[in-house]
Copies of this chain bind each other. A is one copy, B any other.
Amino acid sequence: MNRPNIVILGAGYGGIMTAAKLQKKLSADNANITLVNKHSYHYQTTWLHENAAGTLHHDRTRMEVDSVIDTNKINFVQDTVTGIDPDNKKVSLLNDELSYDYLVIGLGFEAATFGIQGLLENAFTINSINSARLIRQHIEYNFAKYNNEKDKKQERLNLVVGGAGFTGIEFVGELANRVPELCKEYDVPRENVRIINVEAAPTALPGFDPELVEYAMNSLEARGVEFKIGAMIKEVTSDKLVYEQDEEIEEIPTNTVVWAAGVRGNTLVEEAGFESNRGRTPVRDDLRPNGYDDVFIVGDCALIMNEETERPYPPTAQIAIQEAEHTAENLKRIVEGNDHLEPFTPNIQGTVASLGHNDAIGVIFDDKKIYGWSATAMKKIIDNRYLLKLGGPGLVLRKGKLNFFK
């Protein structure tokens, strides 16, 4: 084949890392590489909860694609993917259509709402720069309105987060840091504000070590977070949330529900006809879906099983990045005529959840538990390592989290 067309969809963790690695591994003489993304920028999804709380500016979280990708080597198309046709090897964009010889799908997640009434219409989700800064402004606006009304509305100051999984816990941790600042800014007494985390499972952070869960809940409760555990959300309206706990129906008056309880793969992947379960497509060990040898799926749309636990690996940035690096290597082999593709196995190096800017919990080296400052530092090290891989030391200096004492 002469200079195959490689098209990469999405510049999230999976897509942009595939592109960054390919531009090193292949020259423009070997392949035409095209990267498609809705925005001109890449962003770190795992930092968005900080942008949403208002504790980190979103410009720290995003970077222009052309600041990490050499657009002389890779053709960057800023457009929105509207459809994938794997049988005809075509991708529809809002303003164009592309043909490919090899396709890498890195289209990321969507919120899964499990059919909860009113959730889609009334809850916010943390899934983009746009949605994160809207949450920040929505919360601020409600604080600003509070003192402008004769009858003070408690629903403006009740901040409810649906889900005490990884994202939910990280977000309430940031809120716990942010709320005292908002109270000062808008002359609102701190004791009037509630941060409420509602979780359907019988524990916060399901899947985490119970000792770490206890540490996290203590740390957050000490900063004013209330937990409703084993509480199933039934309905969300513009001014309240209804949940069921211990067979009782309860209501919380609130204008602000942030849904952080479930993700699914991208609808476009289902619509393309790949076998899939809520937008996640089971892939073979080389990350190709059954029946398509010219398609690779990386990141949240790929479903791979953990053979030890017999459950799917969770959709994490860490795995998406490893899948991308792996796929770049396999594409290089294909372009060079080598038909032996390497099988992929995730290498989970550690999982750290922040609890605000000065506390965290995590597990590293398989089973070592860490807390507090060392966990916060480890989280920053992990984030900086990603930037180092993606754009080298310059990117770490521009966008990294370098202050380990804050």
**Residues in A lying within 8 Å of B, measured CB to CB:** 129-131, 133-134, 136-138, 140-141, 143-145, 147-148, 185-187
Closest B residue to A135 using CB positions = B144
- What is the bound-complex CA distance between A148 and B127, given in angstroms? 11
CB distance from A179 to the nearest CB of B (A): 16
Residue of A130, A143, A144 with most partner-chain B CB within 10 A: A144
Copies of this protein in the complex: 2
Contact residue among B134, B143, B187 (Cβ-Cβ distance under 8 Å from A144): B134
CB distance from A123 to the nearest CB of B (A): 13
- What is the bound-complex CA distance between A385 and B143, given in angstroms? 34
A sample of 7 inter-chain contacts (CB < 8 A) reads A130-B148, A134-B145, A136-B144, A137-B137, A137-B140, A140-B140, A140-B141
- What is the bound-complex CA distance between A345 and B143, given in angstroms? 44
Contacts of A137 in B (CB 8 A): 137, 140-141, 143-145
17 further A-B contacts with Cβ under 8 Å, apart from A130-B148, A137-B137, A141-B141, are: A129-B187, A130-B147, A130-B187, A131-B148, A133-B144, A133-B185, A134-B145, A134-B148, A136-B144, A137-B140, A137-B141, A137-B143, A137-B145, A138-B141, A138-B144, A140-B140, A140-B141
Closest B residue to A138 using CB positions = B141
Contacts of A134 in B (CB 8 A): 144-145, 148
CB distance from A317 to the nearest CB of B (A): 23
- What is the bound-complex CA distance between A130 and B147, given in angstroms? 7
Residue of A129, A136, A137 with most partner-chain B CB within 10 A: A137
Contacts of A186 in B (CB 8 A): 133
- What is the bound-complex CA distance between A187 and B128, given in angstroms? 13
| 9 pairs of A and B residues whose beta carbons are closest in the complex | A137-B144, A141-B141, A134-B144, A137-B141, A130-B147, A134-B148, A130-B148, A137-B140, A133-B144
